Structure formats: structure tokens, C-alpha cells
Structure 1
Amino acid sequence: MKKTSTTYPVSARGPADHEVRDQIVAAATEHFSRYGYEKTTVSDLAKAIGFSKAYIYKFFESKQAIGEMICANCVGRIETEIRAAIDQADRPPEKLRRMFKAIVESSLQLFSQDRKLYEIAASAATERWQVTLAYEEHIQKMLREVLQEGRQTGDFERKTPLDETAMSIYLVMRPYLNPLLLQHSFDYTEQAPALLSSLVLRSLSP
């Protein structure tokens, strides 16, 4: 299968590989984890890191830009784990099952273990940050790749337009991808991957 890009759009300034940028992101991640995203200001970060506020603005145009970078790191890891799970399977039906399972497990791990960092994910989803939109596009692309492969191998039906099928299945996955919806789905996380993937696979039978 064709590999999905893991590049996410972030509003950063200055040299892309500058070590100071990584230092700011690492310090911000720790600070947000301790005090929360909403309650932290760029001035707070500057004091915590030992930089001037103006120096931080040389690398990030706003607090949101720093949050975007942290989000990009988080969803990038989730996407990598989902891709790895898919690649471990040989047949498209099993790839789809593994995709459902990896989405739930990876999302729970990153979005629910640290309640303070969860605030960043919630803000990103609420305000529709570009990194969130890109993540949704990447997941949908991965899903379409699995569906296309399944149609080529004869595992999945071909009558329904591919885009319609992909969007329908994506909407089934969405409660476990979106942090705002995920918080209302905790009671079903153990059962959801197997039940939902089985239901979807029955609908895809040729």
C-alpha cells in the first residue's frame, strides 16, 4: 500500500530544525501538562524556559502555534501506530479490523492519560485547527487505500461509490478519533473495535 504522508501544517517561524524550537515545544508540553493549556500564557512559558517572550515569538507566532506543534506530534504518533497496525495484516478485512483497534487504543492512550494535554486536543478539535483537519484527511486517505485494495482483491463490494463508502466508515470511526466525542465513548472502548469492524465488514461483503 502507498504510504500516507505524516507531515502536518503548523504556524512556525524561524529555521525548521532549530534546537530552540524543540526546546520550546518540550517545555510547553510539560507546562501545559502541569497547568493546562487554557491557563498558560506565552509569558508563563517564557518564564519557565528562561527565554524572553519576544524570543519565543521568533519561533512561534502565538500560543496556538505552539499547541499546534504539540498536537502535530501527538497525532503523528497516532497515525504511525495506525499505519503499523494496518501493515501487519495481509488481507484487507484484517487491515480494517486492525485499523479500528489501533484508532481506539492509540487515541485513548494519547488523549485520555493526560487530562491537561487533553485540553489542547479539545481546543484543536473545537476551533478546527489546520493540524486537526490534516489528521482527519490522513485517516480518510488510509481508509480509502484499504477499501481500494479490498475491492481489487474481491474482498469488498464495488457497487457503492468509493467516496461514499469511505465517508460512511469514517463517520463510524470518528467518535474514537475526535477528542470531543471520545470523552463520551469511554464506556464502549473495549467492545467497539471488534463490534464496529465486524458490522462494517458485513456491509462490505461482495
Structure 2
Amino acid sequence: MAIDSSETLPGQRGPADHERRTQILQVADELFRVHGYRKTSVTDIAKAIGVSSAYLYRFFDSKQAIGEAVCAMALSSMGEAVSAVAERDVSATQRLRDMLQTLLSEGMRLFLKERRLHDIIVVSIENQWAVTEEHNNTVSEAIEKIVADGRESGEFERKTPLDEVCMAIRITAAAYAHPVLLSRLGDTDEMETKLSAVTNLILRSLAP
């Protein structure tokens, strides 16, 4: 995972571009992947770096703050991919298909192939960390743009309130971007088949 130390991260202290902060996040990311978030302590991270736990608290308020920073960076790749799809110069219909496919592909990569990231995302959802809410907002904004563009182009119906349509799509698509729900959808081929069926149903409901 690329670490952007210039980003303002949840619960951080001191200068955002400090090289020690970057090191803390890199080491925490590695330990979370090996041992899982729940089994990794601030002491473990400090020992791996060769500093005291007190020193780490100069940069982050708590273990959760470190976890939120790592979680934010993990989710940012999915959010950026979804936002990029929403901006493509193709039909809204194609963008909606591509966005749902992107959610599935990124979800499988983050939550199933990298199991320890699955663990930290579950923790973030269970504890309602702000980073997950920000991620949900990013996905919702992408959906709203695509649907609004589709209405403007005449691809989608305009009678149903926009917020109602976007909420329904977000809820329907949640299974493909949620670590626990995604793991219950079967193997890759089965997931793709289910996604195709869901996408076709959504598009039929949006037809003018």
C-alpha cells in the first residue's frame, strides 16, 4: 500500500509530512496484515520501529487513530476508482455498469484476497469510524453523478426523486463493497453472475 504522509489523517498529531509518521503507518500496515488489527498493539508497532510507545503518541492519539489512518488509505483506492468511473466520457448506463463492477473487483481485492484488511474494515464498520462514513459518501456521490447525468441525457427516468433512486442503488450495491456480505456471495464466477443480474435489474428500473 502506498503511504501518503502529506494527507491529513484521522487522529494525527504533529506535522503531517513527518517521515516518522510515514514509518509508523507502514509498519502498522504490515503488522495488521500479518497479525490482524485486534491482535496488534501500539507496543508491537513501537517495538517493530525501535521506539517507545510514548513516542508513537506524539503522532497519533491512540491505536484506533493509527487503525483509522491505515483503513482510510485502504478504502481510498476503492473510492478513487469509483470516482474515476463516474467521470468517464461514456454513457451513464455504461458508467453504472462499470461502477458496480469496480465495487466488486476492489471489494474482492481488499476484503477477500487481503484477509487482514478484511479484519480492519470490519472493525471500522462495527465501531462506526468516520473513515467508513467518508467512504460511503464518496460512493454515494459517484452514484448521484451517474444517475443525474443519465437523467440529463435521457437514458434514465426522471419521475422518481433523485435521492430515492440513489439511496436504493447504494443499498443494493452495498453487498459488493462490504467485507462480511461479500464473503457470503460465493466464488468469483457466482459473484459475477449475481452482479450481472443485479445490474440489469437496476438498469431496467431506471429506463424512461
> So what's the TM-score if we normalise by structure 2?
0.91
In 2, Cα distance between equivalents of 1:145 and 1:56:
41
**Structure 2 residue identity aligned to 1:138:** T
Q: Identify the range of structure 1 (178-187 vs 122-131) with the bigger mean alpha-carbon deviation.
A: 178-187
1:80-95 correspondence runs (5 A): 80-88=80-88, 90-95=90-95
Within 5 Å, which residues of 2 pair with 1:108-147?
A: 108-147=108-147
Contact 1:156 1:205 in 2 (8 A): yes
Contact persistence 1:125–1:179 (CA under 8 A): no
Q: Does the aligned pair in 2 maintain the 1:125–1:178 contact within 8 Å?
A: no
Equivalent residue number for residue 101 of structure 1: 101
Q: In the TM superposition, what is the alpha-carbon distance from 1:35 to its structure 2 partner?
A: 1.3
The aligned residue for residue 3 of structure 1 is: none
Deviation readout 1:52-82 (Å, 9 max, x if unpaired): 1111001111111111111111111011222
Q: Distance in 2 between matches of 1:118 and 1:49?
A: 24
- How far does the alpha carbon of each residue in 1:14-48 deviate from its partner, in whole angstroms, 9 at most, with x for none? 11111111110000011111111111110111101
How do 1:18-33 and structure 2 match up within 5 A? Answer: 18-33=18-33
RMSD between aligned residues:
1.5
Pairing of 1:49-88 with structure 2 (within 5 A): 49-88=49-88
Runs of 5+ unmatched residues, structure 2: 1-6
- Number of residues of Structure 1 aligned to a counterpart in Structure 2: 200
| CA distance in 2 between partners of 1:14 and 1:107 (Å) | 33
- Matching residue of 1:46: 46
Q: Write the deviation string for residues 127-186 of structure 1: whole angstroms up to 9, x where unpaired.
A: 110000110011001100101001100100000000000000111000111223222224
1:33 touches 1:114 (CA, 8 Å); kept in 2? yes
Whether contact under 8 Å (1:125, 1:180) holds in the other structure is no
Match of residue 200 from structure 1: 202
Task: Give the % identical residues.
Answer: 38
Higher relative contact order (CA 8 A, sep 6+): 1
Partner of 1:189: 191
Q: Structure 1 residues 198, 118: CA separation in 2 closer, same or farther (over 3 Å shift)?
A: same
Call closer, same or farther: CA 1:8–1:113 in 2, change over 3 Å.
Answer: farther
C-alpha distance in 2 between matches for 1:8 and 1:169:
30
Name the stretch that deviates more: 78-87 or 128-137.
78-87
| Partner SS for 1:190 | helix
Name the CA distance, whole Å, in 2 between partners of 1:114 and 1:149.
35
The 8 Å contact of residues 95 and 146 in structure 1, kept in 2 or not, is answered as: yes
**Any gaps of 5 or more consecutive residues in structure 1?**
1-6
